[in-house]
Amino acid sequence: MKSLYLTFYCIIFLQSLQAQWIELPSFTTKPLTSVDFKDESMGLVCGHNQIWRTTNGGDDWTSVYTGNEAISLEEVRWASDQVAVAVGLAQDGSKGLILRSTDSGQSWSQVNNTISSIFTDIFFVSENVGYLCGGNTRILKTTNSGQSWTSQFNDNNSDLFSIHFISENEGYAAGGVGGTGRLLHTNNGGATWVDVNLPAPFLLQSVFFASQNVGYVAGVGGEMRKTVNGGTDWEDLSTANSTNILDLYFFDHTFGFLVGGTLTVTSLQKTVNGGGFWGNDAPNAGAGLFSIDFVGTTGYAAGVNGTVLKTVVTVSTEEVEDAVAARVFPNPCSDVLTVELPEAKLVRMELLDVNGRLLRSNKMDSTATTTTLDISSLQPGFYFLKISTNEGIAVRKLTVAR
One DSSP character per residue, 213-268 reads S-EEEEEGGG-EEEESSTTSS-EEE-----SEEEEEEESSSS-EEEEEE-SS-EEE
Q: What would the pLDDT profile of 176-226 be if each residue is shown by its tens digit?
A: 998 899 999 999 999 999 999 987 789 999 999 988 889 999 999 999 999
* Confidence band of 352 (pLDDT split at 50, 70, 90): confident
Whether 75 has a pLDDT exceeding 90, the answer reads: yes
pTM assigned to the model: 0.79
Query: Where do the domains of the chain lie?
Result: 22-312, 327-400
Which pLDDT does position 329 carry in this prediction?
A: 87
Whether 333 has a pLDDT exceeding 80, the answer reads: yes
Q: What is the dihedral of CA 170, 345, 292, 355, to 10 degrees?
A: 160
* Confidence band of 17 (pLDDT split at 50, 70, 90): very low
Q: What would the pLDDT profile of 76-108 be if each residue is shown by its tens digit?
A: 999 999 999 999 999 888 899 999 999 999 999
Whether 256 has a pLDDT exceeding 60, the answer reads: yes
The answer to whether the CB of 114 falls within 8 A of the CB of 148 is no
Query: Superfamily for 327-400?
Result: Macroglobulin (MG2) domain (2.60.40.1930)
Whether 111 has a pLDDT exceeding 60, the answer reads: yes
Whether 14 has a pLDDT exceeding 50, the answer reads: no
* Confidence band of 285 (pLDDT split at 50, 70, 90): confident
The answer to whether the CB of 54 falls within 8 A of the CB of 71 is no
| Residues 36, 46: Cα–Cα separation, whole Å | 9
DSSP letter (8 states) at residue 316: P
Q: Do domains 22-312 and 327-400 have the same CATH topology?
A: no
| Residues 6, 392: Cα–Cα separation, whole Å | 6
Query: Superfamily for 22-312?
Result: YVTN repeat-like/Quinoprotein amine dehydrogenase (2.130.10.10)
